[in-house]
Structure 1
Amino acid sequence: MWKPKYSVSNRLLKNLTKIAEIKTGLSGRKLPKVVFVDMWKAAQDLSTHASTSIEGNPLPLTEVKAVLKGRPKRARDSEREVMNYNQILIWLDNEIGKG
């Protein structure tokens, strides 16, 4: 059996505790639709950037946001990758919503 060697620092433990507290505090709240939409868009932008960046896409987050906002007609490969990934995120969200 694989037994990874790691240690939990005080800083990591403090951050995880803070995340759990915030999550608990937010769990029962209903967000106004405008706040939810803004948060959803920010999460989509960040997810698109992180996932395409892992695959080698050189665009920084600011450019990813600009591409998703502007949807250029003549997109470079890196821009097309960002738009395609984001399209799939939207499609998946719609499919899950049908479920």
Structure 2
Amino acid sequence: MFSPKFTITNKILADIGRIEAAREIIENAPLVPAYEAKFRQEAIIRTVHHGTHIEGNPLDTGEVKAVLEGKEISAKDRDIQEILNYRNVLKYIDKGQRIKESKSQRISQKDLLAIHKLTVERILGYKQAGKYRKTQVVVKNFKTHQVSFVPPKANVVVSLTGDFFDFDGFV
């Protein structure tokens, strides 16, 4: 059974209180629809850029914006596909979240594998997309190529993921 190790301190509780207060202000603030659409689009561009950049995608924010707007840019097909896939994942999560909120369901391993499939569409082969890995992988620094993390072995990924999804604190 997955059991995260952490301590809830007074500082953490105070920070959670501040976050909740800020959330209430934001959720109840009037927002002009045109501004909301602009803010939403800018947030998507930044999210896609940073989410793919951390994985080594070299496209800058302007290039990401152009790709998301359907414009052609000079870049590797894989880098462009990663941008498109990340956007599709965000759409899937947004749609799924609205459905789950109405039904009070938790995210599942099926959801995770669907997200994986969207993430690697046209990047990995169809036999790997949306499936748990069967080989050992490592995480490398994309500049130095040094191994920075060795994930669990492939033969334990399914059980570890199952434990995580069974954890009572998991949403």
TM-score greater than 0.5 by the shorter chain: yes
Q: Which runs of 4+ in 1 moved over 2 A?
A: 23-28
CA shift, 1:98, in A, is: 1.7
* C-alpha RMSD over aligned residues: 2.4
Q: 1:71 to 1:88 in 2, by over 3 A?
A: farther
CA shift, 1:78, in A, is: 0.2
Which ranges of structure 2 fall in alignment gaps of 5 or more residues? 6-18, 101-171
What pairs up with 1:1-99 in 2 under 5 angstroms?
23=22, 26-70=26-70, 76-99=77-100
% identical aligned pairs: 29
Q: What is the rounded CA distance, in whole Å, between the counterparts of 1:49 and 1:33 in structure 2?
A: 24
CA shift, 1:59, in A, is: 0.4
Which ranges of structure 1 fall in alignment gaps of 5 or more residues? 2-19
Question: Per-residue displacement from partner, 1:58-88 (whole Å, max 9, x unpaired)?
Answer: 001100000000165xx71100000001110
CA shift, 1:25, in A, is: 5.6
Q: TM (normalized to structure 1)?
A: 0.67
Which letter maps to 1:30?
Answer: P
Q: 1:53 to 1:95 in 2, by over 3 A?
A: same
Aligned residues: 79
Which letter maps to 1:35?
Answer: Y
Higher helix residue share: 1
The structure number with the bigger radius of gyration is 2
Q: What is the rounded CA distance, in whole Å, between the counterparts of 2:59 and 2:31 in structure 1?
A: 32
